[in-house]
Amino acid sequence: MEDPKKTDEVEILIVEDNPSDVELTLRALKKHNFVNNVSVVKDGEEALEFIFCTGRYASRDIAAPVKVILLDLGLPKVPGLEVLKQIKADPRTKSIPVVIVTSSLKDVDLRESYKFGANSVIVKPIDFESFVRSIGEAGFYWLLLNQSPR
């Protein structure tokens, strides 16, 4: 995993506060060979600093955005929906695909995620193999198939 302070070529940003979910996500990405240029942040405040190149990530170049953000909803400091709103409200970042990865099956969470601009919502499967498959398919689509503006 690259240190985000040393590179602007981050392909995947994982925004997740649960260390077990981070580990599962990294293992799933590794299984599908999507581990190059992955960065992890642990709360909404750090995610916003990373994405908007402020605070501890001021040396990052906002003109070199990540290719996809895997965003948990239940984050400390700044909730995931607020992070999503800020990403999609800013012309510099609104085209970054944001995939909500959540354990919530609440209809309100799904509605709110799409209302504020989520590109996709993945509900975390309980078993590891299903999770690996879901993350692998998401990585394949957003990193290899999807065409984003540069």
Complete domains list, the chain, with CATH: 12-144 (3.40.50.2300)
Q: Residue 31 above 70 pLDDT?
A: yes
- The pLDDT value recorded for residue 147 is 64
Choose among 24, 21, 12, 18: nearest CA to 70.
Answer: 12
Choose among 33, 29, 28, 32: nearest CA to 129.
Answer: 28
Chain CA centroid to CA 85, Å = 14
Q: What is the mean pLDDT of the chain?
A: 84
Q: Residue 145 above 70 pLDDT?
A: no
Q: Residue 4 above 70 pLDDT?
A: no
Q: Residue 86 above 80 pLDDT?
A: yes
Q: How confident is the model at residue 141 (pLDDT cuts 50, 70, 90)?
A: low
pTM equals: 0.82
d(CA 129, CA 27): 11
d(CA 133, CA 72): 18
- The pLDDT value recorded for residue 124 is 74
